[in-house]
Amino acid sequence: MPELDRIDGGPRSAIVIGAGVVGLSTAWFLQERGVPVTVVDRTGIAAGASWGNAGWLSPGLAIPLNEPGVLRYGLRTLLDRQAPLHVPATPDPRLWAFLARFAANCTGKSWTRAARANLPLNDECLEAFDVLTANGVDAPTIDAPITAVFENTRSAAGLLAELRRLREAGQEISCTGLTAADLAEQFPQVTARNGAGVRLDGQRYVDPGRFAESLARSVVSRGGTIRHRFAVASVRQHADALVVRSATGQTLSADAVILATGAWLGELGRQWGVTVPVRAGRGYSFTVPTEDPVPGPIYLPDIRVACTPYRGGLRVAGTMEFREPDAPLDQARVEAIIASARPLLTGIRWEERTDVWVGSRPVTPDGRPVIGAAGAPGLFVAGGHGMWGLTHGPVTGRLLAEHITTGKQPQALRPFDPLR
């Protein structure tokens, strides 16, 4: 693994490519260690998955995507355009090579490896948020259980089995079973069709767009620079520095460069020996008004839909669509989410939805992100967190900043080596 060529214990400057939660967190924690930082993004702050996700800070639900049941489910629903997991018919050989590699990792052994690798991130993720919010990031995190609802106790068995496997892997989980009467008392939005629930305590949620924007303001207030519409075309070594060149020919140079470009990570990473492919697992969300206030996050596992209190209404998020990250929004996917959720939720004004959004979550085939040194001195990678980029973003930034400034790989990052 290449080591950073350090002077006085760390780099004198850094460029972070990507202004999502992972990139901005890395920039903030580098500043905490005295490194001047410039952040560049091809669009702007939180323009990708960091804006429209469900906003859950949920270490108790950070379940690796390569669960063996996902493969069975995916094969069963491959041609169903209404299914939460959708792979469009396409001749893209890289996509099918990725899916074949993903399928090979949908085993108990690979899943357990990913679950155990995530344990240090889960253990420290909420503390990392607390560090940020105690030091200038003015977007609060809200303590609240996440409540999963099911038609009956038999339907809840799948989630309970996943939680049991997480416990066996070492994850601390506090959960309580709920009856239909419990659900009716606590959630006016849950219909009588739902007869059982599971409440996961010790979780939080946040307005993800507000959090990312506040984090960006904090980076700037601490002396950092953020450059919008700086689409990076290449990263090259030049003398003792790394040079970042934009598509329009602008250049920046620094001692350290961090690739935190989310679902676009593979394009630059391949140039520098990153062997783990990263693909876009696109998610959809929208906001709807509700007749009654929503007391907390609601999870509908059978249809893979997450619902969160959001600006006086409800943010509804779901689906996993393997398409190119810049492909246009598919309205049929939004309609599929509504069709599946409508029988399970009441008091929702579905036709008045706003903020309809699609964003690309960066997915790896083995359920583990890529965090650490790439194939050149001073070049680092942070991404591939799948659905847990918000939950794990700040702790990723803190650990990676430690790696960059000390030259020593934290034990927690070893399973996420980009060159594995």
Residue pLDDT, tens place only, 287-313: 999 999 999 999 999 999 999 999 999
Structure tokens at 380: 């680092």
Residue 208: beta bridge partners?
none
Q: State residue 7's pLDDT score.
A: 41
Q: Is residue 1 scored above 50 in pLDDT?
A: no
- Using only the alpha carbons of the chain, give its radius of gyration: 21
Report the 10 Å Cβ neighbour count for 248. 9
3-state DSSP assignment of residue 181: helix
CA nearest to 368, candidates 408, 418, 411:
418
CA nearest to 418, candidates 124, 117, 1:
1
Q: Is residue 374 scored above 80 in pLDDT?
A: yes
Report the 10 Å Cβ neighbour count for 229. 12
Structure tokens at 98: 């990725």
Burial class (CB in 10 A: 0-12, 13-18, 19+), 212: buried
CA distances from 25 to 90, 231, 412, 414 (A): 36, 20, 17, 20
Q: Could you give the CA distance from residue 86 to residue 326 in angstroms, rounded to a whole number? A: 16
Task: Kindly state the average pLDDT of the residues 249-265.
Answer: 97
Query: 168: which residues sit within 8 A by CB, 6+ positions away?
Result: none
Q: State residue 9's pLDDT score.
A: 62
List, for residues 159-189, the tens digit of each pLDDT value. Answer: 999 999 999 999 999 999 999 999 999 999 9
Structure tokens at 393: 């973003």
Q: Could you give the CA distance from residue 381 to residue 372 in angstroms, rounded to a whole number? A: 5
Q: Could you give the CA distance from residue 372 to residue 324 in angstroms, rounded to a whole number? A: 25
Instruction: Give the type of residue at 334.
Output: V
Q: Is residue 4 scored above 50 in pLDDT?
A: no
Q: Is residue 329 scored above 70 in pLDDT?
A: yes
Q: Is residue 2 scored above 50 in pLDDT?
A: no
CB 370 within 8 A of CB 265: yes
Q: Output the average pLDDT for the chain.
A: 94
Q: What share of the chain is helix, strand, coil (3-state, %, to 5)?
A: 35, 25, 35
Query: Higher-confidence residue: 323 or 9?
Result: 323
**Of 64-68, 133-137, 148-152, 390-394, the least confident:** 64-68
> The tokens 């690796």 sit on which residue?
64
Q: Could you give the CA distance from residue 364 to residue 110 in angstroms, rounded to a whole number? A: 12
Q: State residue 277's pLDDT score.
A: 95
User: How much is the pTM?
Assistant: 0.95
Q: Is residue 6 scored above 80 in pLDDT?
A: no
Q: What percent of the chain has pLDDT over 70?
A: 95
CA nearest to 309, candidates 214, 128, 418, 187:
187
List, for residues 61-117, the tens digit of each pLDDT value. Answer: 999 999 888 777 666 666 566 777 777 777 789 999 999 999 999 999 999 999 999
CA 128 to chain centre: 15
Residue 300: beta bridge partners?
305
Structure tokens at 40: 């560049």
Q: State residue 5's pLDDT score.
A: 40
Report the 10 Å Cβ neighbour count for 185. 11
Q: Could you give the CA distance from residue 248 to residue 231 in angstroms, rounded to a whole number? A: 8
DSSP label at 251? E
**Of 2-16, 188-202, 271-285, the least confident:** 2-16
**Of 32-36, 46-50, 251-255, the least confident:** 46-50
Query: 378: which residues sit within 8 A by CB, 6+ positions away?
Result: 4, 5, 11, 241, 242, 254, 255, 256, 257
Q: State residue 262's pLDDT score.
A: 96
Q: All domains of the chain, ordered by start, with CATH? A: 14-416 (3.50.50.60)
Q: What percent of the chain has pLDDT over 90?
A: 87
